[in-house]
C-alpha cells in the first residue's frame, strides 16, 4: 500500500533536512511524500528543491496557519494510509513505516499509533521526556489525554468521510480530530509498542504558560463539541503524570 506522509513547514531550514532524511532512510519505499510550505523566507525552499527525488509533491504559498497547511496537504494525498511528520521531528528508526504498513495489512485496523520521545534540541541524543500511548483508550479524552498525534496513521478514506482539521483551533485541532475519529466515529485502532517519532522539545503545544492555557481551553472545547463531559478539574491533573514522564525518561 502507498503511505502518504505530510510535512508542513515555515522557516524550517534549521531542521527540515533532518526530517526529510528520516523519510528517505525508511526501508519501506512505497511512499508519497508531500511538503506544504507557508512561503518561507529562509533557506527552506532550497532544502525542498535539493530533495525533490524523495518529495513527491510540494507547494509554497501563504496559509492561514498550521492546520490550514495540513488540510492542503491532506487534499493532495492519494495514498491508502496517511501520516504526518512535523518539520522539526524525525522518525526514530529506519523501519517505522514498514511496521506501520504491516499493521494495516489487517483490514480490521483503521488507525495505528505508538510512542514518541522528546529530546533536547541542542543534544538530540538526550531524551527529556517519553510520551507513551500504551494503555490509552477513548475514555481518556475527558482527562486531557490523546494518543501521540505525530505517531498517528489512519486510512485516508476517513479524512474524506469525517473531515479535516478545524482551522478555528489554534493549538488543539489535532485533539479535536482524534476525538472525532476515535471517540465519535469509533475507528478501530491498533497500538504499536515502539518509539516511532523523535521530537525536539518546544512547539506550539509546549510553548509556555500562555500556550498551556490556550491548549487546555481548546481541549475542553473539543470535548464538549463532541459530546464528552469534562472541565478544568478533570483536565489539569494530567500534568502530574507528565512530570512522572520526565523522571522515567
**Strand 189-200 with 89-91, pairing:** antiparallel
Residue 240's pLDDT band, with cuts at 50, 70 and 90, is low
Residue 215's pLDDT band, with cuts at 50, 70 and 90, is very high
Contacts 24+ apart (CB under 8 A), 217-221: 218/169, 218/170, 218/171, 218/172, 218/173, 218/175, 218/176, 219/144, 219/172, 219/175, 221/169, 221/172, 221/176
List the domain boundaries for the chain: 3-248
By mean pLDDT, which of 74-83, 191-200, 201-210, 233-242 is the weakest?
201-210
CATH 3.90.550.10 fits 3-248, yes or no: yes
- Mean pLDDT value across the chain: 93
What pTM did the predictor assign?
0.92
Q: 233 and 158 in contact (C-beta within 8 Å)?
A: no
Q: How far apart are CA 138 and CA 126, in angstroms?
A: 31
Residue 244's pLDDT band, with cuts at 50, 70 and 90, is very low
pLDDT for 209 equals 85
Residue 42 CA: distances (Å) to CA of 15, 88, 236: 12, 15, 38
* Each residue's pLDDT tens digit, 14-45: 999 999 999 999 999 999 999 999 999 999 99
Instruction: Please tell me the total number of residues recorded for the chain in this structure.
Output: 249
Amino acid at each position: 500500500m502507498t503511505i502518504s506522509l505530510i510535512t508542513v513547514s515555515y522557516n524550517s531550514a534549521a531542521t527540515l533536512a533532518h526530517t526529510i532524511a528520516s523519510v528517505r532512510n525508511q526501508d519501506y519505499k512505497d511512499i508519497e511524500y508531500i511538503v506544504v510550505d507557508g512561503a518561507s523566507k529562509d533557506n527552506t525552499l532550497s532544502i525542498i528543491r535539493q530533495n525533490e527525488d524523495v518529495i513527491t509533491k510540494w507547494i509554497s504559498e501563504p496559509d492561514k496557519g498550521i492546520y490550514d497547511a495540513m488540510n492542503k496537504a491532506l487534499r493532495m494525498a492519494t495514498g491508502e494510509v496517511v501520516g504526518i511528520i512535523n518539520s522539526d521531528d524525525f522518525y526514530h528508526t529506519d523501519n517505522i513505516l514498514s511496521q506501520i504498513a504491516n499493521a494495516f495489512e489487517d483490514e480490521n485496523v483503521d488507525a495505528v499509533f505508538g510512542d514518541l520521545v522528546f529530546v533536547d534540541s541542542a543534544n538530540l541524543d538526550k531524551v527529556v521526556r517519553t510520551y507513551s500511548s500504551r494503555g490509552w483508550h477513548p475514555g481518556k479524552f475527558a482527562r486531557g489525554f490523546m494518543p501521540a498525534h505525530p505517531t498517528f496513521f489512519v486510512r485516508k478514506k476517513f479524512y474524506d468521510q469525517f473531515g479535516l482539521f478545524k482551522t478555528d483551533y489554534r493549538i488543539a485541532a489535532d485533539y479535536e480530530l482524534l476525538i472525532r475519529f476515535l471517540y465519535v466515529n469509533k475507528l478501530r485502532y491498533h497500538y504499536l509498542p515502539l518509539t516511532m517519532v523523535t521530537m525536539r522539545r518546544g512547539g506550539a503545544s509546549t510553548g509556555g504558560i500562555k500556550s498551556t492555557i490556550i491548549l487546555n481551553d481548546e481541549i475542553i472545547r473539543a470535548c464538549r463539541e463532541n459530546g464528552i463531559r469534562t472541565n478544568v478539574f478533570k483536565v489539569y491533573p494530567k500534568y502530574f503524570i507528565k512530570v512522572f514522564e520526565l523522571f522515567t525518561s
